[in-house]
């Protein structure tokens, strides 16, 4: 669950197992430290404006605060205006920082401002990007899923339709098994 301000941390920590620091707030020292001090797992989403190796600073802030487990999440990088791209090398770089790495397969296909006054997205790429991330060896995946993404109040254009989830998960698990059995 996202936390946006330090004042929210204790309330959210009382009901959630994982506190997520949104990408645009991943450099906010007081927020990162407050989340880490909660004792909950902290998921630090890499800002679209950051190089993957720069996540070492956010990771260090969380660890220095005495927190428990910290995950790093890739969700794409700004590519010009209104577009995100994923450089899969970032998954390897962030893994080398010594934290589990998660890939956000749905926010990575977001098109910031693509709907004029709101974000849009292109869900056609959720499956291919998720498969690539599993092939690279991520520790986890994050996906927004909705029964009817076109009717969703938030993140609809970059959400996976619920009826597509079982098939995609089966493919991803098979890829994961193949990767685990590779030398």
User: pLDDT tens digits for 139-182?
Assistant: 999 999 999 999 999 999 999 999 999 999 999 999 999 999 97
The CATH number given to whatever domain includes residue 68 is 3.20.20.70
- Distance from chain centroid for Cα 6: 20
Q: Which of 44-53, 106-115, 166-175 has the lowest mean pLDDT?
A: 106-115
Q: How far apart are CA 62 and CA 58, in angstroms?
A: 6
For residue 168, the model assigns a pLDDT of: 99
Mean pLDDT score, 79-88: 93
What pLDDT score does 145 carry?
Answer: 98
Give dist(CA 157, CA 48) in Å, integer. 19
Per-residue pLDDT at 68 exceeds 90: no
Read off the pTM: 0.95
Its domain, for residue 161, covers 6-181
On the question of pLDDT at 183 being above 80, the answer is no
**Averaged pLDDT for residues 86-110:** 98
pLDDT at 118 over 90: no
CB 3 within 8 A of CB 15: no
Query: What is the average per-residue pLDDT within 3-10?
Result: 98
Cα pseudo-dihedral 121, 1, 62, 83, rounded to 10: 10
Count of structural domains, the chain: 1
Residue 1 lies in a domain: no
- pLDDT of 165 reads 98
The answer to whether position 96 is within a domain reads yes
């Amino acid at each position: 669950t996202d936390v946006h301000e330090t004042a929210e941390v204790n309330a959210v920590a009382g009901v959630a197992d994982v506190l997520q620091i949104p990408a645009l707030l991943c450099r906010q020292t007081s927020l990162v430290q407050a989340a880490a001090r909660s004792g909950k797992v902290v998921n630090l989403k890499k800002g679209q404006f950051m190089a993957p190796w720069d996540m070492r600073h956010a990771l260090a802030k969380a660890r220095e605060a005495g927190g428990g487990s910290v995950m790093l999440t890739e969700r794409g990088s700004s590519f010009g205006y209104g577009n995100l791209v994923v450089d899969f090398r970032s998954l390897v770089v962030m893994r080398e920082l010594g934290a589990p790495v998660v890939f956000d397969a749905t926010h990575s296909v977001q098109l910031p401002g693509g709907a004029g006054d709101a974000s849009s997205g292109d869900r056609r790429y959720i499956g291919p990007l998720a498969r690539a991330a599993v092939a690279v060896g991520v520790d986890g995946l994050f996906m927004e899923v909705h029964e009817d993404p076109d009717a969703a109040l938030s993140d609809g254009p970059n959400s996976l339709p619920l009826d597509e989830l079982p098939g995609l998960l089966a493919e991803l698990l098979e890829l994961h098994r193949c990767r685990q059995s590779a030398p």
